[in-house]
Amino acid sequence: MKQSLGNTGLVLQERLLWEKGRKGRSGFSFPKQDVPSAVLSSEWTGPGPDFPDLSEVEVVRHYTRLSTWNFSVDNGMYPLGSCTMKYNPKINEKEAGLSGFQNAHPLLPSRLNQGALQLIYELEQFLTAITGLDAVSVQPTAGAHGELAGMLLMYAYHKSLGSRRTKIIVPDTAHGTNPASAALCGYRPVPVKSNEQGILSVESIAQAMDEETAGIMVTNPNTLGLFEENLKQISEIVHAKGGLVYGDGANMNAIMGIVDTGKIGVDIMHLNLHKTFATPHGGGGPGSGPVCVRKQLEPFLPVPRVIKKDGQYVLSEDFPQSIGKLHAFYGNFGVMIKAYSYIRSMGAAGLKKASQLAVLNANYVKERLKDVFHLPYDRPCMHECVFTDKVQQANKIATLDMAKRLMDYGFHPPTIYFPLVVSGAIMIEPTETECKEDLDHFIEALRAISKEAEENPDLLRQAPFSCKVKRLDETAAARQPCLAG
């Protein structure tokens, strides 16, 4: 193996802000008071928040030091399965920082905000083209928020037909948030097992689907990284019983420009701009989970919606069947700008290529590691592959130990113990933005770890060694959480 990325170096300690500073210290000078003093009503006054008194340099050093403890896509490979931690091009930040966008007030009248409204309108158009569906709302601000929007749309649709259904089918390979979103909307999630190939069988859905069931929530590709090959037939069964098909599009990164979701029967789908469309996430920025629908569901989309009227973009609330408002103003606009910038800079051919490379990279990792790690579903995968710790269990080495050890080699660990259908799962999503040399480096690190599992298992049980904090007691942290400094 080449020299390990993981190294040790001087890591500076840093205290909490409340342990720093001194009373009266300040980072700026207050301007001279130029209005007369007035007494505030007592109901507006109080002790005030407990903010530490700090100088500018103390604040800057505090956050700069903390940032050196972090690991991000800008430092290295982050193969966190199902999270699509692809590189986020910096041009997107530049576009989002344009003063016209950055300084726009959300309450500006439409005529003074045409650029921002046009961007929302066009982004929605792009997303219809990418999904093959007919209409989009970019208002939901996270994947699970998009799912909730989808469930509310499903409810509104059935209600408009005078029907009240109580159940939603959720396969065991769906994203973990799916049953929660269904339950939050008052539906009862009905779990359905995937077949021995790791996908849904037509028969199991035919058996589960009835006229009490509002629809099905399918993650495609599913959390095993496998394409739901029977989805078209499954959609036909669900539609025949009057139900709707919800597609969790969080794994859209595998199929952009390749699969027309509308044609395989999906009626509602959310996308994650913060995954597929390269906007920062995981502490790096808020999310955005646009919900895309087929024509017959368009009247129910959240308001306000951006429409085009007499050549002008305007915000309209005139959708009497709408499920209403889901977020303050219009959603996370900054995220929309970055996703818009990404789509425009990639173009249709570029997005398709991104998906092809995401799938190629995952299959490359899978093929190069399957002789040392157990691969429960040995078939072509999409954008991610799932291994287990079955081979290493012979030496009582668990997935967790290997994930911890990977940090010593300078990589972020993959997603572990998910999906739940695979015991000891190691879920790797390399994304399209890793080059072959980096993939090879990652593969060599995991191969070295599998060797260590045989030759020196205790090393793995104590890992990591090079990180700022070593093996944490996760159980104590969860059972007796310390949530304040």
Return the residues of window 183-222 that contact another protein according to CB under 8 A.
188-189, 191
Minimum distance, C-beta of residue 188 to another protein, in the bound complex (Å): 8
Residue from 87, 364, 417, 465 touching another protein (CB under 8 A): that is 417
Helix or strand run (H / E) with residue 361: helix 333-369
Nearest to 127 by CA among 137, 118, 115: 137
Burial class (CB in 10 A: 0-12, 13-18, 19+), 176: middle
The two three-digit tokens of residue 428, written as one number: 């790797």
Nearer residue to another protein within complex by CB, 417 or 465: 417
Minimum distance, C-beta of residue 432 to another protein, in the bound complex (Å): 28
Is 126 near another protein (CB under 8 A)?
Answer: no
Minimum distance, C-beta of residue 423 to another protein, in the bound complex (Å): 6
Nearer residue to another protein within complex by CB, 26 or 423: 423
15: region left, alpha or beta (phi > 0 left; psi from -120 to 50 alpha)? beta
Nearest to 324 by CA among 300, 306, 307: 300
Length of the chain: 485
Nearer residue to another protein within complex by CB, 13 or 475: 475
Nearer residue to another protein within complex by CB, 32 or 479: 479
Give DSSP secondary structure letters for 43-68: GG--S--------HHHHHHHHHHHHH
Count of positions on this chain that bind another protein (CB under 8 A): 18
CA distance 417 to 477: 18
Helix axes 114-131, 333-369, angle to 10 degrees: 30
Minimum distance, C-beta of residue 397 to another protein, in the bound complex (Å): 10
Residue from 132, 418, 438, 457 touching another protein (CB under 8 A): that is 418
The two three-digit tokens of residue 479, written as one number: 């059972």
The two three-digit tokens of residue 420, written as one number: 């739940």
Tell me the residue type at 391. Answer: V
Is 176 near another protein (CB under 8 A)?
Answer: yes
Q: E strands within 117-242?
A: 135-137, 167-171, 188-192, 213-219
Residue from 118, 388, 393, 466 touching another protein (CB under 8 A): that is 393
Is 470 near another protein (CB under 8 A)?
Answer: no
Nearer residue to another protein within complex by CB, 142 or 425: 425
Residue from 314, 398, 421, 449 touching another protein (CB under 8 A): that is 398
Helix axes 436-455, 333-369, angle to 10 degrees: 60
**Where does this chain touch another protein (CB under 8 A) — which range of 51-59, 77-85, 299-307, 472-480?**
472-480
Is 337 near another protein (CB under 8 A)?
Answer: no
Is 474 near another protein (CB under 8 A)?
Answer: yes
Is 400 near another protein (CB under 8 A)?
Answer: yes
Nearer residue to another protein within complex by CB, 348 or 472: 472
Residue bearing tokens 């290295």? 76
CA distance 242 to 253: 30
Minimum distance, C-beta of residue 401 to another protein, in the bound complex (Å): 12
Minimum distance, C-beta of residue 251 to another protein, in the bound complex (Å): 19
Residue from 68, 70, 345, 423 touching another protein (CB under 8 A): that is 423
Minimum distance, C-beta of residue 147 to another protein, in the bound complex (Å): 17
Residue from 2, 90, 105, 479 touching another protein (CB under 8 A): that is 479
Nearest to 84 by CA among 148, 172, 171, 143: 143
Nearer residue to another protein within complex by CB, 402 or 443: 402
Provide φ and ψ at 62, rounded to 5°: -55, -55
Minimum distance, C-beta of residue 222 to another protein, in the bound complex (Å): 17
Nearest to 255 by CA among 130, 144, 380, 390: 130
Is 364 near another protein (CB under 8 A)?
Answer: no
**Where does this chain touch another protein (CB under 8 A) — which range of 102-110, 284-292, 331-339, 470-478?**
470-478
Nearer residue to another protein within complex by CB, 341 or 399: 399
Is 416 near another protein (CB under 8 A)?
Answer: yes
**Where does this chain touch another protein (CB under 8 A) — which range of 119-127, 140-148, 268-276, 417-425?**
417-425
Minimum distance, C-beta of residue 420 to another protein, in the bound complex (Å): 6
Beta-carbon contacts of residue 151 (< 8 Å; ≥ 6 apart): 168, 181, 182, 184, 185, 187, 246
Please say whether the dihedral angle defined by the alpha carbons of residues 302, 219, 257 and 280, taken in this order, is positive or negative.
positive
Footprint on this chain of another protein (rule: CB under 8 A): 176, 179, 188-189, 191, 393, 396, 398, 400, 416-418, 420, 423, 474-475, 478-479
